Structure 1
Amino acid sequence: MREHDNMWPPNLKCLVMLLMLMILNVSGAFVGINVGTDISNVPSAVDIVSILKEKKIQHIRLLNSDHQMLTALANTGIEVMVGVPNDQLLRVGQSRPTAADWINKNVAAYIPATNITYIAVGNEVLTTIPNAALVLVPALQFLQSALLAANLNTQVKISSPHSTDMISKPFPPSTATFNSTWSSIMLQYLQFLKNTGSSFMLNAQPYYDYVRGQGIFPLEYALFRSLNPDSQISDPNTNLFYTNMFDAMVDATYNSMQAMNFTDIPVMVTASGWPWHGAQNEQAANVDNALAYNTNLIRHVLNNSGTPSQPNNQVSTYIFELFNEDLRAGLVSDKNWGIMFPNATTVYTLTFEDMGTTSADSAVLRGTFCVANSSAPPSALKQSLDWACGPGSANCSAIQPGQPCYKSDDIVAVASYAFNDYYHRTQASGGTCNFNSTAMVTSTDPSHGSCIFAGSTGSNGSSGGEASGSISPDNFATQTQLCWLTHLVATLLPILVFL
């Protein structure tokens, strides 16, 4: 065997291992979802896992360590982040044996059947329960020691989610720094992440910054929508342009770490979303904005573009959240961030798969419809209908006399078809379902007979034939790269066996 080894260049093994590592990283960032618990009628763990499978969600964040959920997730392959709730933090952070017991009962007992990959210790501890700040880093260290003892430290990483409120003056991102009140703790926290190869966990919620800003930033900027040339937002110190608030938040975090001399810790966004319903004075909390934000966020994360200052660092993100949490304290909007109701009906439809291979319409809005509000005055509906079929450029051929969606005596049905067509054509570029408050988003398919609305899962109309779409150049290149690397490693792997 020694003679055989000497036949190969000494760096061949390194080359093969590098290629294998490249393959593992081709997929880039992922999008997961938060599963909260402040719900009066929580679905069963088995039902929740069925929903996750149906939606093809491969990463979830549990805000606790629910044993029924961890059992139901066994053998699914879904990657799980479990949480140490804030009310358990003091006990874990003050006692090494308590931390070890927590790991044994909530992590080690379920691996390997349940694919636990991260532990989130507390949630926004420094800004919400500052009296517990001194035990945060000890809790991380005690839990890490327990993972080492259980030989799980390579599979499971530990971190703690922080709010963007930790960052003083987050814009421009290039000058952002962490609040100096927490400098000592943040230094220890960042050193822990560096030592353990963990990520900085960030809860990035542009909704709150947009509302607090009271018009400082345009809504389009918060929703990842195109900005007109007069509204371009740039960092004056770097001349980097920011097309969305999410990227600015992430870059502010990177620069805050850099200000403390840490430059190699990746950012993972543990919560980001938009409320779909609010009180009378919470106008930005509506279905249209929630659908737009989360759809555009998913597309943005999965295209692996990074951020303006960190283009090569993809930002894996967990959507907030799966279910509305009706028991949460606070404003009406605080209870309505879910994409589903607890009874498993859908508020609006999202796809968690890579949308690079599908048309924006079919991938994003399938199962979601923009329809006329039946309580709107007929005159207002007529005005909105005329706009949709005129300046709005909706395809209104199906609602002409003799066509399948024509109804001479039903302005609501006719307007619904036009509104929905416009919405599906333009949502990806900023089109909304509003029409001067005469329309609304619904998940109820209004198709009837041979009148098929865009977005229908059985559509033969404008969206039904586009499900497979054309492959974008970037996505084609990624697929080609993956195939080439896979073939090369397959060729060299037998050699590696003999090295």
Structure 2
Amino acid sequence: MASRFLPFLLLLLLLLLPPLPFSRSESFIGVNYGQVADNLPPPSATAKLLQSTSIEKVRLYGADPAIIQALANTGIGIVIGAANGDIPALASDPNSAAQWVQSNVLPYYPASKIILITVGNEVMMTNDQNLINQLLPAMQNVRKALEANSLGGKIKVSTVHSMALLSLSDPPSSGFFIPSYQNTLKGLLQFLKDTESPFAINPYPFFAYQSDPRPETLAFCLFQPNAGRVDAGSGIKYMNMFDAQIDAVYSALRAIGFKEVEILVAETGWPWQGDSNEVGPSRENAKAYNGNLIAHLRSMVGTPLMPGKSVDTYIFALYDEDLKPGPASERAFGLFRTDLSMAYDAGLSKSNTTLKPSSTVWCVPRAGVSDAELQASLDYACSQQSIDCSPIQAGGKCFEPNTVASHAAFAMNLYYQTAGQNPWNCDFSQTATLTSQNPSYNDCVYPGAST
């Protein structure tokens, strides 16, 4: 068992502290609002839907005026995009950039809270050298157009990259960008550094699982209990693919001298259905990935190389997009159906609750779960930095009875209480459940959460 944990009494003290304000704890959770569909609800209905959730940022792939206007006075941050096809004009003519800002920003800001403009999407992977060369000048001209309207410090400018930009990503400490792109990247990154804008990337553990469809890889991708993977370069044990991918990007940035540039996850998600020959899409997996990702972000644990903060993350996607080409999974990433109902509950509703007794609740193993499953959950909980499992080690107050079930119960509950006391913090691959019956015994005290 890991030993790098806070003292147990300190954890008990922390549990008594009031929680952070809701909006502050959710500000890094966003969603992508794709529109390749012919059945989407009106923007006004979408705005109301978003306000009923803990989503505080929305990324558009373009700059749809109806959507931008519908989000006015909601406080929701908006990312708008200039398409790849816009880049040549934006790069060659400052007046074109000025007109783009005049048309897509000035009529709506500040009532519509535009926070970022993305110029192009995965341009580096187009293999169009002319377009790649025009990307930075286009970004610079858009920035100058914002500055001309006193918005340079209020609206950032960036572009979005594919994870394929990395020639190495495993292990995370070896993260490295494709060498032939590094000169171009250094120019882009210097711009981002100078303007304090984020490096936006699209990590998808879903695709990592498709290329390695083993059960242990699925658990690693879904933030579920697993044995973890040790980075041979750093010695760090990674417990989920998301952290590993983000740290690979950080390592790549560090390798070329730009580790201080903030990383933004522009897209990540998991499809809830797919074709019969596709590996991974299912409602259960989508709920596990997005629900556990959201819980991970809310925990503010961060990644091993960037601890103590959550990376701004935009989940793909708000709705299914029925007109997208490709396999069925491409049309089934939606968190919500187009009738505004949830495709599955990822824990985003402001009213999301389960088990509401007027007492205290604890997280304990479900009946009938095997020792092997409980051992995996026990190992996972005790591997987290904020969990002190010393009470269930030999000599500890909760060591007896010395059974997997008893030790797992203590560890599961401690994880639930410290990770946010949300229903998804007491899931453990469906091996745990909430109870209002206090599992404490003798001198072994289980912390509880009032609801």
TM-score, normalised to structure 2's length?
A: 0.73
After superposing the two structures, state which structure 1 stretch, 252-261 or 207-216, moved more: 207-216
The answer for the alignment partner of 1:470 in structure 2 is 449
Query: Residue type matched to 1:258 in 2?
Result: R
Of Structure 1 and Structure 2, the greater helix share is in: 1
- How far, CA to CA, are the matches of 1:326 and 1:40 in structure 2? 7
- How far, CA to CA, are the matches of 2:74 and 2:149 in structure 1? 23
Contact conserved, 1:34 with 1:322, CA < 8 A, in 2?
yes
1:254–1:28 CA distance, 2 compared to 1 (3 A): farther
The answer for the alignment partner of 2:248 in structure 1 is 252
The answer for the alignment partner of 2:303 in structure 1 is 307
Contact conserved, 1:40 with 1:327, CA < 8 A, in 2?
yes
The answer for the alignment partner of 2:34 in structure 1 is 36
- How far, CA to CA, are the matches of 1:425 and 1:258 in structure 2? 34
Q: Which secondary structure state, in structure 2, belongs to the residue aligned with residue 75 of structure 1?
A: coil
After superposing the two structures, state which structure 1 stretch, 341-350 or 196-205, moved more: 341-350
Q: Which secondary structure state, in structure 1, belongs to the residue aligned with residue 117 of structure 2?
A: strand
Alignment deviations for residues 431-468 of structure 1 (CA, whole Å, 9 cap, x no partner): 28xxxxxxxxxxxxxxxxxxxxx9xxxxxx979xxxxx
1:427 Cα offset (Å):
6.8
Percent of aligned pairs sharing the same letter: 33
- How far, CA to CA, are the matches of 1:87 and 1:115 in structure 2? 25
Which residues of 2 match residues 4-403 of structure 1 at below 5 A? Answer: 27=25, 30-128=28-126, 130-131=128-129, 132-215=131-214, 218-227=217-226, 231-352=227-348, 390-391=368-369
Q: Which secondary structure state, in structure 2, belongs to the residue aligned with residue 285 of structure 1?
A: coil
1:55–1:426 CA distance, 2 compared to 1 (3 A): closer
Contact conserved, 1:28 with 1:314, CA < 8 A, in 2?
no
1:146 Cα offset (Å):
0.5
1:29–1:168 CA distance, 2 compared to 1 (3 A): farther
Contact conserved, 1:163 with 1:204, CA < 8 A, in 2?
yes
Contact conserved, 1:83 with 1:122, CA < 8 A, in 2?
yes
Contact conserved, 1:28 with 1:304, CA < 8 A, in 2?
no
Query: Residue type matched to 1:185 in 2?
Result: T
Query: Residue type matched to 2:98 in 1?
Result: A
1:462–1:127 CA distance, 2 compared to 1 (3 A): same
Q: Which secondary structure state, in structure 2, belongs to the residue aligned with residue 122 of structure 1?
A: strand
Specify every segment of 5 or more residues in structure 2 that has no aligned partner in the other structure, as ranges: 1-20, 357-365, 372-422, 437-447
CA RMSD of aligned residues (A): 2.9
TM-score, normalised to structure 1's length?
A: 0.67
| Rg larger for | 1
1:362 Cα offset (Å):
5.7
Specify every segment of 5 or more residues in structure 1 that has no aligned partner in the other structure, as ranges: 1-22, 364-387, 394-423, 433-453, 455-460, 464-468, 473-499
Alignment deviations for residues 233-282 of structure 1 (CA, whole Å, 9 cap, x no partner): 01111111111100111111111011111121111111111000011111
Alignment deviations for residues 83-102 of structure 1 (CA, whole Å, 9 cap, x no partner): 11223223222321111111
Query: Residue type matched to 2:278 in 1?
Result: E
1:47 Cα offset (Å):
1.0
1:284 Cα offset (Å):
0.8
- How far, CA to CA, are the matches of 1:292 and 1:134 in structure 2? 40
- How far, CA to CA, are the matches of 2:369 and 2:171 in structure 1? 38
The answer for the alignment partner of 2:12 in structure 1 is none
Contact conserved, 1:29 with 1:302, CA < 8 A, in 2?
no
1:28 Cα offset (Å):
7.9
Alignment deviations for residues 399-433 of structure 1 (CA, whole Å, 9 cap, x no partner): xxxxxxxxxxxxxxxxxxxxxxxxx899721128x
- How far, CA to CA, are the matches of 2:334 and 2:127 in structure 1? 25
The answer for the alignment partner of 1:486 in structure 2 is none
